[in-house]
């Protein structure tokens, strides 16, 4: 079945550095992908919509210059956390609708980011 | 803005017991999705409900959506330790956009 992968699964970085997280749709094309963030013991919050070939759209309160999203192909979206700070430490999850008239959407396994 | 509230926030049950998790929306839902998440992992899709009064079952899990499409319940029959995890309800912010909002989650622990 359709699967969404993320890489890396865990990353630890120093404050001020940038971190790139990849989200790939396997076995299907995803012109749209979504990025969510989940803080400990909290629910998932939608950060942005990644659109293939065009600019991402960000939810209110999410800094687009801090969370850079690139969706150059039909199976890959990347989220770059620029100049990461400890408060950016979180669990980042991407999702991709399967499309084709279905309402099915698959979520990646998530990436745990820890900023020291 | 639309919100989803789940109750209870956490639940500890003895193996074999039945349990129910509720998800309530402040607005009419276009679609309601139930997911299971283990701590620090991705989401596992359980069920999708779209029609008022709809009910779906998979193995020992049954989900219902009320007629007004503002409340859903997830019922687990004869719970097992494998059912432990975080249960999240999610809903489309707008019809067909796939942009989800999620409930606050219910942490379930099943004691063997």
- CB distance A112–B48 less than 8 Å? no
Note the pLDDT of residue B67. 87
Note the pLDDT of residue A99. 72
- CB distance A44–B100 less than 8 Å? yes
Note the pLDDT of residue B23. 96
Note the pLDDT of residue A34. 94
Q: Give tens-digit pLDDT for A37-51.
A: 998 878 889 999 999
Place of tokens 């009064």: B53
Average pLDDT over residues A64-80: 93
Average pLDDT over residues A5-23: 96
Cβ–Cβ contact A106 with B under 8 A: yes
Q: In degrees rounded to 5, what are phi and psi of residue A91?
A: -105, 120
Cβ contacts of A110 on chain B, cutoff 8 Å: 40-42
Q: Which residues, numbered 42 to 101 in chain A, qualify as contacts with chain B under a Cβ-Cβ cut-off of 8 Å?
A: 42-46, 49, 91, 93, 95, 97
Note the pLDDT of residue B1. 59
What is the distance in angstroms between the Cα of A71 and the nearest Cα belonging to chain B? Answer: 17
Cβ contacts of A42 on chain B, cutoff 8 Å: 104-105
Note the pLDDT of residue A16. 96
d(CA A54, CA A62) in angstroms, rounded, equals 18
Q: How far is CA B42 from CA A13, B39, B54, B60, B87, in A?
A: 22, 8, 26, 21, 12
* Run means of pLDDT, 10 residues per run, chain B, 112 residues: 86 97 90 87 88 92 92 97 94 78 93 93
Note the pLDDT of residue A73. 86
- CB distance B88–A44 less than 8 Å? yes
Average pLDDT over residues A18-47: 91
Note the pLDDT of residue A2. 61
Structure-block tokens of residue A34: 């979504």
Nearest CA in chain A to B49: A103
Place of tokens 């004869």: B78
d(CA B70, CA B23) in angstroms, rounded, equals 8
Examine the pLDDT at A93 and tell me if it is beyond 90.
yes
Interface test with A, best of B9, B42, B87 (most A CBs within 10 A): B42
Examine the pLDDT at A1 and tell me if it is beyond 70.
no
B10-14 and B106-111 beta bridge pairing:
parallel
Note the pLDDT of residue B85. 94
d(CA B24, CA B89) in angstroms, rounded, equals 9
Cβ contacts of B33 on chain A, cutoff 8 Å: 105
- CB distance B50–A103 less than 8 Å? yes
Cβ contacts of B31 on chain A, cutoff 8 Å: 103
The number of angstroms, rounded, from the C-alpha of B13 to the middle of its chain's C-alpha atoms is: 17
- CB distance B98–A97 less than 8 Å? yes
């Amino acid at each position: 079945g359709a699967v969404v992968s993320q890489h890396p699964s865990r990353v630890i970085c120093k404050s001020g550095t940038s971190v790139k997280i990849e989200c790939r749709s396997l076995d299907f094309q995803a012109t749209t992908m979504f990025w969510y963030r989940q803080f400990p013991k909290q629910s998932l919050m939608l950060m942005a919509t990644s659109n293939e070939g065009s600019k991402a759209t960000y939810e209110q309160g999410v800094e687009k210059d801090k969370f850079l999203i690139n969706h150059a192909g039909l199976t890959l979206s990347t989220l770059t956390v620029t100049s990461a700070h400890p408060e950016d430490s979180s669990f980042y999850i991407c999702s991709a609708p399967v499309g084709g008239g279905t309402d099915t959407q698959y979520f990646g396994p998530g990436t745990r980011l820890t900023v020291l | 803005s639309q919100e989803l509230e789940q109750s209870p926030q956490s639940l500890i049950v003895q193996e074999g017991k039945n349990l129910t998790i509720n998800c309530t929306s402040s607005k009419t839902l276009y679609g309601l999705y139930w997911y299971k998440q283990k701590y620090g992992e991705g989401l596992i899709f359980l069920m999708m409900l779209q029609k008022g009064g709809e009910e779906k079952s998979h193995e020992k899990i049954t989900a219902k959506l009320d007629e007004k499409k503002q409340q859903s319940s997830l019922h687990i029959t004869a719970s097992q330790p494998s059912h432990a995890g975080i249960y999240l309800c999610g809903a489309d912010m707008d019809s067909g956009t796939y942009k989800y909002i999620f409930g606050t989650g219910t942490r379930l622990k099943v004691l063997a």
